Chains A and B, each alone.
Chain A
Amino acid sequence: MSVPDALRPRPLYGQFPTALRFCVRDQTRNRLAALLLVLFVPAWYLMMDALAGDTPLDFKLYATGRVLHVDGGHLTLISAGLNSVTMIAGFVVFDAVRKALAFDRRLVFAGYRQSTLIGAKSLAVAVVASGIALYTALAMLPFWRPDPGGWFAVLAGFTAIALTYGALGLLLGVLVKHDLEGFFLIIMGGLMDTFLQNPLGNPLANKPVLEWFPSFGPMQFAVGGSFGNTALWSHLALGLGWAAAFAAIGLVIFRIRTRNRTRRQARRDPVLLPK
């Protein structure tokens, strides 16, 4: 029986803090991702650093048209970091969102506001992705110590790509039917995307086609900040634009897939279920 809101006892738990806490917990209990973060990231830096050596490379900053002559090893550390972040952030979010989808639907059916759940999920993705980006930027320091401004530019680039691939993980988590499809798309997409941005042995180096990839903006911002002392804010915004676009599409699909089909009417009237 319905009770007027004023007479209803105060709920024990708020919906938003509860959903946020459990969404973050969901995304941080992935042991494989934790292992990848702790072991794979430093190993990947080590391997890519050894592979690139200190070959000088030309890197074009599209915002200014400048071509920077940079240390190939350091540049490769940035693209290796970006690559690690795409894989781990995408994997963590995809796995958590996909596994929780039926449960989220049940929560909405039980009375959770979809907008609250969506808000909490988005914030949880942002928190976890930012944590992954911070760790990956810190793990780069034993291999290369740019000046503080440069390091923050790398961190900002890593955060933008972590948010982008976290949002892609969310989108694939509500969209694809099988685990393998999602993992394949995230791993192959991240590899292709980030490696094409690095001029090392890349025939597409500094070509305009690179602008159409999600890691273009974050790579430009990170390199501009760490090698050129330039803050290319529009390129950071471009990276965040990709994140916003993936998240928006994913959340619309999430909303459709978790919607409650009952149409509630005035109290004591029957609730008509849809045809």
Chain B
Amino acid sequence: MKAVHVIEGRAVPLERADVDTDQIIPSDWLKRVERTGFGRGLFSEWRDDPTFVLNDAQFAGATVLVAGPRFGTGSSREHAVWALMDYGFETVIAPSFGDIFRNNSSKQGLVIAQLSVRDVEELVALIHEDPSRLVVVDVESLQVEVPEAGWLRSFILDPMTRERLLNGWDDIGLTLIHEGEITSFESTSHAPTLTGLFDDAGHVLTR
């Protein structure tokens, strides 16, 4: 994962609540075995509509997505995060998020900035006033800022996610620091394994 410190870019106001991961990337796209190229599928069912905000030329090239409450609920598909990032988004600002989506985002370096409903409404209004305004999301100071409007809000990120974003740490590498503890846990664990469940053909043995 690449380290992330400050994201600075123009923002798109999605202005929809309950945007589940099926909307972010429809299931038809999930058949691919690659990790790249999902940007074309982002919100694909909505992008056919010429009035959909992502089709509005004044928001082209934006890196900040501003959404309504409960963004990223539903399916565990990490493809939703890959699609947002492949399209060019580096951060999503919303009043609340689905848990798994939030987790998946942290693994890829997509910054999840949670602000109150009111703050998000204010931010959306500022973007509508002037879509060329820069929005700054600072992972170091945990602040969202619209410098030109003198608008500044703080957001909360769990300390470990913040550290990982700032350092670009690989999660698996971090866990493997504890390999000794994992091995010692395994030597005392009684949890059953699948050993002895199959015959040579891979069929489950019946008792």
Q: Do A and B bind each other?
A: no
A residues contacting B by CB (< 8 A) are: none
B residues contacting A by CB (< 8 A) are: none
